[in-house]
Amino acid sequence: MTDTTTSSAYDADKVIAIDGPAGSGKSSVSKAVARRLGFGYLDTGAAYRALAWYVLERGGDTADADAVRAAASDLPLRQRLDPDDRRVLVGGTDVTAAIREPRVSAAVSGVARVPEVRVQVNEMFRAVVADAEYPAVVVEGRDITTVVAPDAPVRILLTAAPEVRAARRAGELAGQDAAAVAEALHRRDASDSAVVDFLHAAPGVDVVDSTELDLPQTIDAVLAVIRRRRDADKEPHHG
């Protein structure tokens, strides 16, 4: 799926795992946290969006599992881990903006529904982390805390009330009807939650609810969890 090669073993200790639904602020928060700590940043949703874009560019339909599997088998994907450089490349094409287009947003759930593709993509994420030239990588998505890195020392579910998430997403998408944005967000939640539960924290996962928090407060809350978890992990354990 990617031209990334791994030369070292995957190390879950390098992962700061952050999950959350659309509009929860996980991308903005994860980037800011990575920047503050000097860590890498991996937007796993961008990989699925890039695959959806690739299927569509090939004239395929993301509802067709065979078309998705075929595209995934030779997707030349590259993602940068610099939180200030979010470029996503498919072959020689910069698709950073294209993968945020409405046609891709409407199609991305289809690629995420194919189990074999999810396994393949998750292995790619682990390989990227293994080879990252950062002390740790903030990995954000929908099933990072439960599937990609269930053994990471820091696992956070970032959430907010549905109406707050819809308002935030509408604010990000200038010029689009707020009601339509809210409806699209609710449809995305319903579709994606059939594949993975990103609305409820698994055991051992810390919840940060940003409903009543602004962005700086949410960043501080996530940083506090990271400090607490990483400090606890360093404490000696007595048998």
191 annotated as ligand-binding: no
| Nearest C-alpha neighbor of 165 from the set 22, 18, 20, 19 | 22
137-178 tens-digit pLDDT: 999 998 899 999 999 999 999 999 888 888 877 666 555 666
**What is the pLDDT at residue 18?**
96
23-50 tens-digit pLDDT: 788 999 999 999 999 999 999 999 999 9
Domain residue extents for the chain: 12-233
20 annotated as ligand-binding: yes
- What is the rounded CA–CA span in Å between residue 123 and residue 138? 16
CB count in 10 Å sphere of residue 5: 7
Sole residue written with tokens 């992962």:
15
30 annotated as ligand-binding: no
| Nearest C-alpha neighbor of 3 from the set 69, 41, 50, 56 | 50
23 annotated as ligand-binding: yes
Length of the chain in terms of residues written:
239
How large is the greatest C-alpha to C-alpha distance in the chain, in angstroms?
A: 60
Domain boundaries 12-233, corresponding CATH code: 3.40.50.300
Mean pLDDT of 58-73: 92
Helix (H), strand (E) at residue 70? helix 65-73
**What is the pLDDT at residue 225?**
96
| Nearest C-alpha neighbor of 120 from the set 77, 180, 181 | 77
82-132 tens-digit pLDDT: 999 989 999 989 999 999 998 998 898 889 889 899 998 998 899 999 999
45 annotated as ligand-binding: no
Query: What is the band of 4 on the pLDDT scale with cuts at 50, 70, 90?
Result: very low
Q: Residues 27, 31, 32, CA angle at the centre, nearest 5°?
A: 120
CA torsion angle 212 196 49 73 (round to 10):
160
203 annotated as ligand-binding: no
Which parts of the chain are beta strand (E)? 15-19, 40-43, 77-79, 88-90, 93-94, 137-141, 154-159, 206-209
116-126 tens-digit pLDDT: 999 989 988 99
21 annotated as ligand-binding: yes
Q: Identify any residues that bridge with 155 across adjacent strands, giving them in sequence order.
A: 17
22 annotated as ligand-binding: yes
